[in-house]
């Protein structure tokens, strides 16, 4: 009887997608995020020029030289704060609109956009975008261009809503000009809003809609 050829073992199926991060890689990712979060908080409260990398490292519970392991300079860390802020804002804005559903009216969409933007500016963990608004000039030209592109993508989501309201006669100003006025007004709330005052973010949203379209419904 001829020998039976042996069948080689079937190799295990290759895992799809990205390989899992090691413990060390996860720790580095967490430390980087901690630096970005503390930098955002300090840049907002003390200003970019008034904050040192030593301050940021201490706030994140790290050695004074640790930031330079992740970022070449304080300016690079500022850039990362703005990138992170815009990435978070765009993702949460998309999620807020998706939750409305496709049948939501333009006014309902505007209400959601305005309420979300107030949350980004004034809610919990809202240090990132105010830093972008008031420390913009500290970036170099290339960094400004990149962050501007992220900001434009975020604001572009508002344009179909504003155009629909304009067609319906509920927004009197030209949509492209209205966008500039609206963001100017909303962003300025960072300067005067107090969470210890009488206005909640919901009431602030209602008042903004009355100003922009004359109707909060």
What pLDDT sits at residue 58? Answer: 94
* Residues in CB range of 73: below 8 A, 6 or more apart: none
Residue 139 exposed, middle or buried by CB count within 10 Å (0-12, 13-18, 19+): buried
Scan for tokens 């009216």, then name that residue.
105
Residues 6 or more apart whose Cβ sits within 8 Å of residue 93: 113, 116, 117, 120, 154, 157
Please state, in angstroms and rounded to a whole number, the distance separating the CA atoms of residues 171 and 98: 23
- What tokens were used for 176? 């492209």
The HSE-up count of residue 134 (CA atoms within 13 Å, CB side) is 18
- Going residue by residue through the chain, which has 217 residues, state the pLDDT in tens, using 9 for 90 and above: 445 444 444 454 555 555 564 644 556 778 899 999 999 999 999 999 999 999 999 999 998 888 889 999 999 999 999 999 999 999 999 999 999 988 999 999 999 999 999 999 998 888 999 999 999 899 999 999 999 999 999 999 999 999 999 999 999 999 999 999 999 999 999 999 987 778 899 999 999 999 999 987 6
pLDDT tens figures, 177-186: 999 999 999 9
> Which tokens in the block code for residue 80?
């990362």
Spatial distance between the Cα atoms of 106 and 103, rounded to a whole number of angstroms: 9
Judge residue 200's burial from the number of C-beta atoms within 10 Å of its C-beta, 0-12 exposed, 13-18 middle, 19 or more buried: exposed
| Domains recognised in the chain with CATH numbers | 74-213 (1.10.357.10)
Could you tell me the pTM of the whole model? 0.82
Contact 201, 118 (CB under 8 A): yes
Question: Cα–Cα distance between 168 and 156 in angstroms, integer?
Answer: 20
């Amino acid at each position: 009887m001829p020998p039976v050829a042996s069948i080689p073992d079937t190799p295990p199926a290759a895992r799809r997608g990205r390989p899992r991060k090691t413990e060390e890689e996860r720790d580095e990712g967490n430390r980087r995020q901690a630096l970005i979060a503390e930098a955002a908080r300090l840049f907002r409260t003390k200003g970019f020029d008034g904050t040192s990398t030593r301050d940021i490292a201490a706030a994140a519970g790290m050695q004074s030289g640790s930031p330079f392991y992740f970022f070449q300079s304080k300016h690079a860390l500022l850039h990362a704060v703005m990138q992170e802020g815009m990435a978070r804002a765009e993702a949460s804005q998309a999620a807020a609109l998706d939750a409305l559903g496709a049948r939501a009216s333009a006014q309902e969409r505007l209400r959601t956009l305005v309420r979300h933007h107030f949350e980004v500016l004034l809610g919990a963990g809202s240090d990132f975008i105010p830093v972008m608004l008031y420390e913009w000039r500290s970036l170099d030209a290339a960094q400004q261009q990149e962050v501007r592109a992220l900001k434009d993508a975020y604001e572009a989501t508002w344009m179909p809503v504003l155009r629909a309201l304009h067609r319906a006669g509920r927004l009197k100003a030209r949509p492209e000009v209205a966008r500039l006025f609206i963001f100017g007004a909303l962003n300025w709330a960072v300067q005067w809003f107090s969470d210890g005052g009488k206005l909640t973010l919901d009431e602030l949203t209602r008042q903004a809609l009355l100003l922009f379209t004359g109707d909060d419904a």
